[in-house]
Amino acid sequence: MTNRPLVEPHSESLASDDAPSSGPLRLPTSDPGRLSSLIAEFAALSAPGRGVTRLAYTDREREAHDKFGAHMKALGLDVWVDSAGNTLAEHSGSVEEYPAIGTGSHLDSVPGGGRFDGIAGVVAAMEVARIIVTENLSHRHHLRFVAFAAEEGARFGQACIGSRLAAGLLSITQLDAKHDAEGRRLSEAMSSVGVDPHAAAAQPWDPTDWAAFVELHVEQGGVLEKTKAAIGIVDLISGSTRLDLNLTGRASHTGATPMSLRADALAAAAEIVLATEALANDARHRGTRATVGRLVVTPGSITTIPGHVSMSLDVRDVDSDRQRATASELLRRAGDICAKRQIDLEASLIGDSSPVVLPLWLRQFSVDACKAQDLSYRVMTSGASHDAQAINQIMPASMIFIPSRDGLSHVPEEWTSSADLATGTDVLLRILLRADEELATRRTRDPGPASTTDRGGESSWRLTQK
């Protein structure tokens, strides 16, 4: 990798001779049956059809947030919904002035998705909260359990909306500009479920109110299963550049129009799809993932040459320079293809985020937790975007993965065993208690403010081809 995206905040390693223990040697363990039951409860909150469909800022998503809040209130936690529609629940620590340590994930899904993406991290947080309450486990920092809104980019083309609003990374102008396939603006969708977009953009979380955040998530790939590792410890989250391409040719009769006189928008789009695959497969782009995930063909008639195609382009990479260079090169190639075929091309940038390195000292707590439980683990990169990526802009954030069967995700067949989810939940509990212990010790030694080292993740890359 030629360009590391940023300097790691708090990058000092914890030496084994002066690092505190990873918490009590024996801790209560999570209940696999309870976790499985919670997964099923949330899976039932879905639009009709195969798999789980609970899109961002819809009634189904808000129902899931209500369920999360009800469960946490039943445990006696304080529950509230922030300006972006994220739901938070807090168990107070013994030191009132200490900030919160958080955990959680998202409740929305892609269309026809699986029941574990995002939800696994939410139910793990719920189980951690239950254990802490029922076992009366002490902690000095407040523990905050979060269900994020609108993490999936499937509806509006923008990933991590709830967490990005919490981090102050989206403006009202951006909320007004983004729209779904039906043309509904993101800001309108938010308002329709009782979330004020103006307040959401103007009221991010206060970074001084937080100490750290840890997200559990299913891997969504097959590395852990293949290597038989119980836990993945994420060191780096890939960046993503997302584009909308609109190709306009000339619709005409399929029988009456000679091949030499056609301006077929779909034929041009097909070339762009293959060019995207070829460029990402080039040895110079090792580590790049580029995908055309959506094609809308108009008029969509068997007897009419396609006159218009709307398509998406998603470029992901762990190298920020290569990520943007790949997107720019694909735009250049798309322009050449369209010019050759006499097709008009319009391109718009709908999302762009840089790779993010997660703090080493917080990752070390994950390593220590795995060792304390005699679990195999693997340090790995995330090719997918996650809420921790946005949250790392305002506080130190960390991620752990649990295995996904056959590496499948975003499909109804997505599956993680209740045993693997319970193992991950036990590791999460230990990480949170270790973070509470270590950060309290640091505050006693040095009561000054936490480091404000740049955590990366945002970019100034702009669209260069029209």
Q: What domains can you pick out in the chain, each with its CATH number?
A: 32-236+359-445 (3.40.630.10), 239-353 (3.30.70.360)
Q: Is the dihedral of CA 229, 230, 235, 237 positive or negative?
A: positive
- Report the pLDDT value the prediction gives residue 283, as an integer from 0 to 100: 72
- Report the pLDDT value the prediction gives residue 447, as an integer from 0 to 100: 61
- Reference 120, options 223, 217, 221, 219; nearest CA is 217
Q: What is the pTM of this model?
A: 0.84
Report d(CA 368, CA 437) in Å as an integer.
Answer: 13
Report d(CA 234, CA 421) in Å as an integer.
Answer: 17
With a cut of 50, say whether residue 10 has pLDDT above it: no
Q: Are 36 and 22 in contact (CB under 8 A)?
A: no
Residue with tokens 């034929």: 267
For 185-206, what is the mean pLDDT? 98
Q: Are 457 and 393 in contact (CB under 8 A)?
A: yes
Query: For the segment 452-463, what is each residue's pLDDT rounded down to a tens digit?
Result: 344 445 444 445
Report d(CA 423, CA 431) in Å as an integer.
Answer: 13
Query: For the segment 333-389, what is each residue's pLDDT rounded down to a tens digit?
Result: 999 999 999 999 999 998 888 899 999 999 999 999 999 999 999 999 998 889 999
- Report the pLDDT value the prediction gives residue 157, as an integer from 0 to 100: 86
Where does the pLDDT of residue 24 fall: very low under 50, low under 70, confident under 90, or very high at 90 and above?
low
